[in-house]
Structure 1
């Protein structure tokens, strides 16, 4: 049964990520079709096609590996002739190479002169290079060899760009040039490319709303759940044997709550004259009145009661805002002196106050962006884990395989109830969507952020040309960025392979996450 539940957890995760990707691509598809772009394919996943159907000019389908997706729009790499056109203020088209006459001749002629001058400079530099090699046999043979290598590399690069342009525009029929991606205005292109990540952001926020506002968050209440018998300083408690960690010795100091006879179920309404509407307020008052006698008002079985107790000053573990214990450099817990009453609160699930939701969203989004900024450092850590004996950080990077394994553990474990399982699953899916938004906004091709950056550059370039009176220019030749694109793809594949390996060999377990406070 546990194995079956584990498999169900992985399947649910794959369904969740597939839906997220499908909605991301739908975010691209909808405005593209609205603007008249010809969209030939809408696919969820990569690899062999499992199922597809055609509606109109678009083929919709699902592929074998549900860890990505794409829509195909002709003109992602504009034809070379489109990038070398310019329209002057009178509306006439001029070629950048200066071959056009007529009203665009002045603009085209200037550009053509610049082009021929450049060729002349290059040719002169070539002759100078030949002369500088000297008269020896080695020098005479070396320069032509270097030039030949450069030509071969240049031809290879040009062929690659030509192939990319041809593949990108192969489904453009005559007369459909206006329906290509590059034919869109810059603002419309930005809308098409930003819409996909924006859908993930909205989806992530909606999932967070369901989790935090709908299901709620576990909140400590002012009702007493436990009464602690004795107050043992933290430094002393950690030195005791494990079997004595939860027991009191005869000479241990009894807590004020124990001495006053407080019981589980008592609801504290005020302390030291301060009304306690929530646990944070109650806890703060107790900490601030160390060494003082205060009056505690509470209700028991519907009856109001009051008792005066001495708040003792004791050494307690120091924690951060999330409740995680802070540690010293030697591994021992940090401690601080504070007031101690000796009670533990009842934990109830309550909707997060609406006024705090925006802050929770900001913390999540900013945390994801911070993780992406520090991605190189985290990858170095993962590399050390992969090749050495370094332990895996439970709060470090996790790949898709690792997240799938955790999803399987969440569904199959019997240590948490169904509501907590649902909330943890929603939390993972919401975080994943916000990560997809943030990662896709990286301004590098082939990511959406790279296309957005190209669009912004092209818009700025057009404005400058208009300001200089040089007219409209053609779209930026994105094929020139193919070497950088290939480098980025290679790095992403290496990162994926590294995470898959570590997730399989040294996986992060659900228990490790719980123990880390994550």
Structure 2
């Protein structure tokens, strides 16, 4: 059964990845067709063709390696001019790119080419793919946060400590001489629902904790709901030393650099977690937070990849916040699906993984380098700036920007991406990331 659940998690993520890639390409396809560009192919995956069917002028299909996708638009760049035989490797690459681009311009459809679109339309076409991933991530996060809810401590008691264990003790079970914990001594039972404490109604576990911590050694009148009946208890929190923290959760230090401590009340009550539905805008906020984290990861990508390489060949553990390959994401999805946890909890984690994957696709594709979508956007913006400057200075309209000249740089970027993918793939196979603590 565990193996089936593991495989189910992988299948869930593979299907989610396929849908994410497919919608990314739809984000390019729809505006391109709306703007009249001839689209020859819409493909999910790379490598050998598994299935395809032509509808109208566009061939739709699936290829063997589900590691991406593409649409083939007519005339991504201006047609080349005969410049004679190419000399040198880079010149050959440029000429090959121009020849391939020329082949996409069908006879009789010379006006239905991408490079002839106004700049704003080209930007919309290239933004469509990444924005589709962003929208999908926001939808998933919204379903998680506002449809299912976010786990928060409730006023229902899940468990109580039977005794007071010494601070820093390694023992897990109570001894005969260990004093009873305040909650156990007061008569709390798992399943009790906190109603009021010290004469004040409590709506959240945080409110109850605040009262307990502020009342070390002071008897508190507590009312709980136990199987539909109101039961009165008397709780006397035990004084305990705790380190002070600031508003950011960082330890507060004194003038000598030592941690500042203060006395708080301790009861030994553990809250039951429950899903609490959040406002509808929470999903968007979660997506933006994730986008910021992925952006930071990409900025530090060289260092992160170096750390991955070091961990691959040494005993150093993988950074749990580091990059992953598709294999790594699939492995984590399988482990999550096979864990001994409520089905809803596992589903939420899998949905979070899929949403995070779409945010990664959004942010990564916005990197301003060809062949990524961000690179095409930069080319369109540069073309627009040239045209605006010519109009401002009264000069003739310049020729469209010939991005095929950037093919050597594009090849370098592609090689680096392939190298990064290979490194992460090897690391995820031979030195998998451990985020579940198993």
Q: State the alpha-carbon separation in 1 of the partners of residues 181 and 279 from structure 2.
A: 33
Displacement of 1:409: 2.6
Q: 1:323 to 1:65 in 2, by over 3 A?
A: farther
The two structures have a TM-score, normalised by structure 2, of: 0.89
Look up the match of 2:57: 57
User: For structure 1, which segment, 202-211 or 21-30, has the greater mean C-alpha deviation from structure 2 after superposition?
Assistant: 202-211
1:226 to 135, 156, 159: 159
Look up the match of 1:216: 149
Check if 1:206 corresponds to 2:139: yes
Q: Is the 8 A contact 2:93 2:408 kept in 1?
A: no
Q: State the alpha-carbon separation in 1 of the partners of residues 333 and 235 from structure 2.
A: 47
Look up the match of 1:481: 406
Q: Which has the higher helix share?
A: 1
Q: 1:45 to 1:336 in 2, by over 3 A?
A: farther
SS of residue in 2 equivalent to 1:53: strand
1:348 to 260, 274, 277: 274
2:292 to 324, 348, 366: 366
Q: State the alpha-carbon separation in 2 of the partners of residues 435 and 52 from structure 1.
A: 28
Q: 1:319 to 1:385 in 2, by over 3 A?
A: farther
Q: State the alpha-carbon separation in 1 of the partners of residues 371 and 244 from structure 2.
A: 46
Q: Is the 8 A contact 1:227 1:257 kept in 2?
A: yes
Q: Who wins on radius of gyration, i.e. which is larger?
A: 1
Displacement of 1:301: 3.8
Q: State the alpha-carbon separation in 2 of the partners of residues 397 and 301 from structure 1.
A: 48
Check if 1:37 corresponds to 2:37: yes
Task: Please give the residue correspondences for 1:451-466 in structure 2 after superposition, counting only pairs within 5 Å.
Answer: 451-466=376-391
SS of residue in 2 equivalent to 1:476: coil
Displacement of 1:474: 1.9
Displacement of 1:189: 0.2
Q: 1:415 to 1:320 in 2, by over 3 A?
A: farther
Look up the match of 1:430: 355
Per-residue CA deviations over 1:401-458 (Å, capped at 9, x if unaligned) read 11112222333x2512322222222111111111100110111110001111111222
Displacement of 1:70: 0.4
Q: State the alpha-carbon separation in 1 of the partners of residues 216 and 287 from structure 2.
A: 36
Count of residues in Structure 1 that have an aligned counterpart in Structure 2:
429
2:415 to 477, 485, 490: 490
SS of residue in 1 equivalent to 2:437: helix
Look up the match of 2:117: 184
Check if 1:402 corresponds to 2:328: yes
Displacement of 1:26: 0.7
User: For structure 1, which segment, 44-53 or 259-268, has the greater mean C-alpha deviation from structure 2 after superposition?
Assistant: 259-268
Displacement of 1:208: 1.5
Q: Is the 8 A contact 2:155 2:272 kept in 1?
A: yes
User: For structure 1, which segment, 368-377 or 287-296, has the greater mean C-alpha deviation from structure 2 after superposition?
Assistant: 287-296
SS of residue in 1 equivalent to 2:395: coil
Q: 1:253 to 1:400 in 2, by over 3 A?
A: same
Check if 1:302 corresponds to 2:228: yes
Displacement of 1:369: 1.9
Q: State the alpha-carbon separation in 1 of the partners of residues 379 and 300 from structure 2.
A: 24
Q: Is the 8 A contact 1:207 1:430 kept in 2?
A: yes
Tell me how large the CA RMSD over aligned residues is.
2.9
Look up the match of 1:245: 172
SS of residue in 1 equivalent to 2:65: strand
Displacement of 1:337: 5.1
The two structures have a TM-score, normalised by structure 1, of: 0.76
